[in-house]
A and B are shown apart, each in its own frame.
Chain A
């Protein structure tokens, strides 16, 4: 039988003023793109979904931005404290699609967190395109550099790397040829654009979606997204979907 895990916080780092990197003990193995559902503490009723950033034997790592009450409470936990965690949950990325050509992992903001473990599984010819608002918010660059053949960084204000949007960078990269697949996670407008770009060039694409969740396991039907005109559960059918299957409202 499955059960919620009581996990010890083994490490905690503050990456930027608002972003925390946590490693917890974890008894189960996980696949790239799956997520965990975390009880944040007193006064916060629902769990909060967090992408699995990396995992190994007996441990799991996730990174989060402090947004509201839940993530604020979560950030107050210290090394040695325990967290009640459900998971791994959901359907992750399809990493069978390996080939000689270049897979691209693409993320903006909190969307970059699930991509590290994915990049590691996709192999050395993977390239990463990561978007940040500004130079001071750039994180994980070294880790992506190590996992990938090349890491393209974009900033909205041009303070580092390429000035502009990750999607412009993607269009450029695709025009150079040899891109086999794209795996993306980030804000809705970005995902919409990625779907358009990859469809136009006939490139296989997977998107990891976000939706407000309740149970996280497929029982309550609150976390839906539209797929071929029907509502599917992001926590169960996703969070990763074949981009062709996702309908965005226009």
Chain B
């Protein structure tokens, strides 16, 4: 039997496959397609203090090998999450990661306090490109990233993951800033800011004009960033960006990720994360690898 378990900041995941925030809702729909207990962890849709409407539609556009989205953190707010969504997720034998996306430092602290120990890990989203306040503006300046990480960490009763934006010149600076400020793990990448224009109407396809690019198109950028961050910090990394297959997952782990998240692939097929897990097992078995952790950071770089 292959040992699939991995460790993220002291939290043991039975396998390294996680769902990426925003592509899985709160699990209700996808749970009709497979037992969520088969995943290492689930990461839920961004949570804010008050319910958020999100941006006007259209909110999605297909691009070569990718998609742009501009959902803008639509969610029912923390009360709704704690009362209605979390108890449902707790029925499954999997770890729950709460993705918090407050528009101020204080809001994020409050969210972390409200979550307390009711979730296994908290992922601080300082990288959403689709909102005017907070979001990516927290994640592109190392000083601000450090400050918000330190403040939220004080309010966290469980390990804190900081989710990094790829919309920066040097991701290692932000990664190191978050590490020094007390982050327990890092996740990357969030979406890359992009745009698509209909050349017949000269109108942007997204009503928000711009959106976040994800899917296979961003994978090489994400793999490169995971590798760079792996080299410059000691923190466990959750890698994501365009993972569609088990081999993609293996590639991220070889680059330095301790676990991986499946995002856009969930929009293509609801069983995507489970398929990625099964294919990863196939990859390991075929090569006689007994322990998935052997992959982590094993790239034979030139």
CB distance from A31 to the nearest CB of B (A): 17
CB distance from A38 to the nearest CB of B (A): 12
Residue in B closest to A214 when the chains form the complex, CB atoms = B267
Contact between A2 and B32 (Cβ–Cβ < 8 Å)? yes
Task: Kindly list the 3 A-B residue pairs having the minimum CB-CB distance in the complex, ordered from nearest.
Answer: A214-B267, A222-B60, A219-B25
Q: Which residues of A contact B268 (CB under 8 A)?
A: 39, 45-47
Q: Which residues of A contact B84 (CB under 8 A)?
A: none
CB distance from A209 to the nearest CB of B (A): 10
In this assembly, does A3 line the interface, its C-beta being within 8 Å of a C-beta of chain B? yes
The stretch of A20-28, A120-128, A223-231 in contact with B is A223-231
A contact set with B: CB distance below 8 Å: 1-4, 39, 44-47, 69-70, 84, 86, 211-215, 217-225, 230-231, 236
Contact between B62 and A45 (Cβ–Cβ < 8 Å)? yes
- Could you show 30 A-B contacts with beta carbons less than 8 Å apart? A1-B32, A45-B65, A45-B216, A46-B267, A46-B268, A47-B268, A70-B62, A214-B69, A215-B29, A215-B267, A215-B270, A217-B29, A217-B270, A218-B25, A219-B24, A219-B30, A219-B266, A220-B22, A220-B23, A220-B69, A220-B71, A220-B267, A221-B22, A221-B25, A221-B59, A222-B57, A222-B58, A223-B57, A224-B59, A230-B53
CB distance from A71 to the nearest CB of B (A): 12
Q: A1-B32, A46-B62, A46-B67 are in contact. Are A219 and B23 (CB under 8 A)?
A: yes
Contact between B45 and A45 (Cβ–Cβ < 8 Å)? no
CA distance in complex: A219, B53 (Å): 15
Cross-interface CB contact of B215 among A45, A219, A224, A231, cutoff 8 Å: A45
Residue in A closest to B34 when the chains form the complex, CB atoms = A1
Q: Which residues of B contact A84 (CB under 8 A)?
A: 269
CB distance from B268 to the nearest CB of A (A): 6
Name the interface size band of chain B: 35 or more
Residue in A closest to B66 when the chains form the complex, CB atoms = A45
Residue in B closest to A84 when the chains form the complex, CB atoms = B269
CB distance from B198 to the nearest CB of A (A): 11
Contact between A224 and B266 (Cβ–Cβ < 8 Å)? no
CB distance from B46 to the nearest CB of A (A): 10
In this assembly, does B37 line the interface, its C-beta being within 8 Å of a C-beta of chain A? no
CB distance from A25 to the nearest CB of B (A): 19
Contact between B62 and A221 (Cβ–Cβ < 8 Å)? no
In this assembly, does B167 line the interface, its C-beta being within 8 Å of a C-beta of chain A? no
Q: A1-B33, A45-B67, A221-B74 are in contact. Are A212 and B270 (CB under 8 A)?
A: no
Contact between A2 and B33 (Cβ–Cβ < 8 Å)? yes
Which residues of B24-50 are within 8 A (CB) of A? 24-25, 28-30, 32-35, 45
Contact between A222 and B32 (Cβ–Cβ < 8 Å)? no
CA distance in complex: A222, B268 (Å): 13
Cross-interface CB contact of B54 among A70, A213, A221, A225, cutoff 8 Å: A221
CA distance in complex: A221, B65 (Å): 20
Contact between A214 and B60 (Cβ–Cβ < 8 Å)? yes
Q: Which residues of A contact B29 (CB under 8 A)?
A: 215, 217-219, 236
Residue in B closest to A235 when the chains form the complex, CB atoms = B29
CA distance in complex: A213, B59 (Å): 9
In this assembly, does B119 line the interface, its C-beta being within 8 Å of a C-beta of chain A? no
Q: Which residues of B contact A69 (CB under 8 A)?
A: 62
Contact between B270 and A220 (Cβ–Cβ < 8 Å)? no
Residue in A closest to B269 when the chains form the complex, CB atoms = A4
Contact between B66 and A222 (Cβ–Cβ < 8 Å)? no
Q: A1-B34, A45-B66 are in contact. Are A211 and B58 (CB under 8 A)?
A: yes
In this assembly, does B86 line the interface, its C-beta being within 8 Å of a C-beta of chain A? no
Contact between A224 and B57 (Cβ–Cβ < 8 Å)? yes
In this assembly, does B271 line the interface, its C-beta being within 8 Å of a C-beta of chain A? yes
Residue in A closest to B264 when the chains form the complex, CB atoms = A45
In this assembly, does B13 line the interface, its C-beta being within 8 Å of a C-beta of chain A? no
Q: A46-B62, A224-B74 are in contact. Are A219 and B270 (CB under 8 A)?
A: yes
CB distance from A235 to the nearest CB of B (A): 10
CB distance from A241 to the nearest CB of B (A): 14
CA distance in complex: A81, B216 (Å): 26
Q: Which residues of B contact A225 (CB under 8 A)?
A: 57
